[in-house]
Amino acid sequence: MHAWEKSLNASVTSPEELAGLFRVDAAALSGVVERYPMRITPYYLSLIREPGDAIWRQCVADPAELADLSQSPDPLDEERLSPVPGLIHRYPDRVVWIASASCAVYCRFCMRKRGVGCAGMQVAPQNEALEYLAAHPEIRDVILSGGDPLLLSDERLEDLLSGLRRIPHLEIVRIGTRVPVTLPERVTPKLAALLKRFHPLFINTHFNHPDEITEQAARACALLADAGIPLGNQSVLLKGVNDDPQVMRRLMQKLLYLRVRPYYLHQMDLVKGTAHFRTPLARGVEVLKALRGHTSGLAVPHYVIDLPGGKGKVEVSAECVRREGSRLVVTTYTGETLEYQDIS
């Protein structure tokens, strides 16, 4: 067993384990964890300074998750847009391949919390997925997602990537992973050398707070960057975590120092069980305004909404988003106009 697998096996997964480390009411969390699993690696747990801080809020179960009954478990209609189970074909030239059903840490704001870590999470069958991709020459870009694809073994990753590279019209592969943030020991020289064989390959990771940028995370990112892999970061705007201009500026600046380019800042998706993380759109605009001109343009991400119904991402800009009285109206990349549910 590899060191990272041993670390994963030592994760905190129950309210009772958590109560042995912090003053928490295990009984109040048991129902939450039954519905939405909890897993916190020893490394990520060590970043918690006190209950309720930015790291805690991202990984520790909260009764507020069960109080959110108004939103959809699958607001982006991913299951409807999956011609093969676990293969999401939402945009014309690219697909998302759900390659893993689990993550090192189960983020409490996860867009796929309906299934990640649960027995019913659908992973795309490899042969069926490859057959679909081979039959659709319009697809040029595959995003491996999950769960976290880098929780697969090196051997499994090699097999999957080799299959993709046998399809001539697939130009690029992207991997979405949070292991540099939550399980940095997973990024080994062997893994970096493996991934290097499959260029052009890009990695988008997911730092949300400057406290996540540690020496261990920096080493993981350096191994990947030294392998020639362009690194991007997709943050989510989270209430009580990073919805502060100074926190966001510090995060974006530190990312660049790690050779990680800020890519997206996501407005919180309308996912059931996550309403307590949502901020008004105006808050995100304020955060972005505090970045522009006050720091390098390299440190300014695209602030985007991933629209319900599988309508795609739109950048929060005067061109795509406008207010009409109390309504928020957005224009999609296809030119469709629709209303978006903001909060006050």
Per annotation, catalytic residue among 313, 320, 333, 342: 313
Say whether 261 is catalytic: no
Say whether 90 is catalytic: yes
Record the pTM. 0.95
144-197 confidence digits (pLDDT tens)? 999 999 999 999 999 999 999 999 999 999 999 999 999 999 999 999 999 999
218-231 confidence digits (pLDDT tens)? 999 999 999 999 99
Annotated binding site for [4Fe-4S] cluster, which residues?
103, 107, 110
Average pLDDT over residues 269-293: 94
- As beta bridge partners, residue 45 has none
More confident residue, 121 or 14: 14
Per annotation, catalytic residue among 112, 174, 186, 254: 112
In three state form, how does the secondary structure of the chain look?
Answer: CCHHHHHHHCCECCHHHHHCCCCCCHHHHHHHHHHCCCCECHHHHHCCCCCCCHHHHHHCCCCHHHHCCCCECCCCCCCCCCCECCEEEEECCEEEEECCCCCCCCCCCCCCCCCCCCCCCCCCCHHHHHHHHHCCCCCCEEEEECCCHHHCCHHHHHHHHHHHHCCCCCCEEEEECCHHHHCHHHCCHHHHHHHHCCCCEEEEECCCCHHHCCHHHHHHHHHHHHCCCCEEEEEECCCCCCCCHHHHHHHHHHHHHCCEEEEEEECCCCECCCHHHCCCHHHHHHHHHCCECCECHHHCCEEEEEEHHHCEEEECCCCCEEEECCEEEEECCCCCEEEECCCC
129-142 confidence digits (pLDDT tens)? 999 999 999 999 99
Annotated binding site, which residues?
103, 107, 110
Say whether 107 is catalytic: yes
Task: Check whether 327 has a pLDDT greater than 90.
Answer: no
Say whether 313 is catalytic: yes
Task: Check whether 91 has a pLDDT greater than 90.
Answer: yes
Query: Model confidence at 120, in pLDDT bands (50, 70, 90)?
Result: confident
201-256 confidence digits (pLDDT tens)? 999 999 999 999 999 999 999 999 999 999 999 999 999 999 999 999 999 999 99
Say whether 103 is catalytic: yes
**Other C-beta atoms within 10 Å of 34: how many?**
11
pLDDT at 92: 95
pLDDT at 85: 96
Structural domains of the chain, ranges and CATH numbers in brackets: 69-319 (3.20.20.70)
37-53 confidence digits (pLDDT tens)? 999 999 999 999 999 99
Say whether 320 is catalytic: no
pLDDT at 128: 97
Say whether 49 is catalytic: no
26-41 confidence digits (pLDDT tens)? 999 999 999 999 999 9
Per annotation, catalytic residue among 91, 263, 333, 340: 91
Q: Crossing angle, helix 189-196 and helix 154-165, to 10 degrees?
A: 10
Alpha carbon distance 74, 113 (integer Å)? 9
Query: Model confidence at 320, in pLDDT bands (50, 70, 90)?
Result: confident
pLDDT at 208: 98
pLDDT at 84: 97
